């Protein structure tokens, strides 16, 4: 696979290393001269000096034959536009954009730049996982595939508490795939009774979260 990476910061440099170690061909583009010279000592010909928002710089890096373009500069507008141009002008089949400020994520979605990865969001998600009082944890979100996996804790007196899996009033497009009880997970069958305090994993179509949490939270 041929990968073009815009930005040789910590993320871009380490990505390049890992991808090269896996046998992929990589070109990194870095616009800051001093940083370029530092990284060039290790990556040698796999890094080029230039502003990846300029078309000729992308073309020099071989964007026309790239299988994947990754934009991981520290600037959200740059990342957005680099991916937009890679996708729409050079018809690069896969793009990945970094979102520095999670508030800008909406703009990546608006302009169809997906996936857009935000380290802040990922850490927030981990915090939610550690602090289950938030109620609902997103374990997996595949937007393009319209698939989500969430985890909910069953509250005392919740509609689902004490019900068998078959009797829990779940909306169409959702399914209980696992129950975590006393630190152990198991795949339930229709007769399994859901208890308060259980953590339940569900696979669902996007947009059903509210109707599902209503079944698992108290009053």
Q: Which CA distances in Å does 134 have to 20, 127, 158, 162?
A: 40, 10, 16, 22
Cβ count near 64 (within 10 Å): 11
Residue 104 sits in the site that holds another protein (CB under 8 A) = yes
Residue 119 sits in the site that holds another protein (CB under 8 A) = no
Q: Which is nearer to another protein, 5 or 200 (CB)?
A: 5
**Cβ–Cβ < 8 Å for 12, 82:** no
Sheet architecture: strand order including 174-181: 136-142, 147-153, 199-204, 174-181, 184-186
CB of 2 to another protein, least distance (A): 22
Q: Which stretch binds another protein (CB under 8 A): 39-47, 76-84, 136-144, 159-167?
A: 76-84
Query: Quick one: how many helices (H) and strands (E) in the chain?
Result: 7, 11
Q: Which is nearer to another protein, 25 or 75 (CB)?
A: 75
Q: Which is nearer to another protein, 3 or 99 (CB)?
A: 99
Number of residues that bind another protein (CB under 8 A): 19
- Cα–Cα dist 117/105, whole Å: 8
Residue 89 sits in the site that holds another protein (CB under 8 A) = yes
Residue 75 sits in the site that holds another protein (CB under 8 A) = yes
What is the binding site for another protein (CB under 8 A)?
53-56, 75-78, 80-81, 85, 88-89, 103-104, 106-107, 110-111
């Amino acid at each position: 696979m041929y990968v073009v990476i815009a930005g040789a910061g910590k993320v871009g440099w380490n990505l390049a290393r890992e991808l090269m170690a896996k046998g992929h061909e990589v070109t990194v583009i870095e616009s800051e001269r001093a940083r370029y010279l530092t990284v060039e000592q290790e990556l040698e010909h796999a890094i080029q000096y230039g502003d990846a928002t300029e078309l000729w710089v992308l073309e020099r890096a071989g964007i026309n034959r790239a299988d994947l373009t990754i934009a991981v500069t520290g600037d959200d507008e740059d990342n957005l536009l680099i991916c937009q141009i890679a996708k729409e002008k050079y018809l690069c089949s896969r793009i990945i954009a970094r979102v520095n400020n999670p508030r800008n994520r909406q703009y990546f979605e608006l302009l169809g730049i997906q996936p857009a990865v935000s380290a802040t969001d990922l850490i927030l998600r981990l915090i939610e996982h550690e602090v289950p009082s938030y109620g609902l944890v997103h374990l997996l979100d595949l937007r393009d595939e319209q698939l989500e996996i969430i985890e909910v804790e069953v509250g005392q007196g919740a509609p689902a508490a004490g019900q068998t899996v078959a009797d829990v009033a779940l909306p169409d497009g959702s399914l209980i795939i696992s129950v975590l009880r006393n630190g152990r997970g198991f795949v339930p069958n229709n007769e399994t009774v859901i208890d308060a305090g259980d953590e339940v994993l569900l696979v669902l179509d996007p947009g059903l979260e509210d109707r599902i949490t209503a079944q698992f939270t108290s009053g």
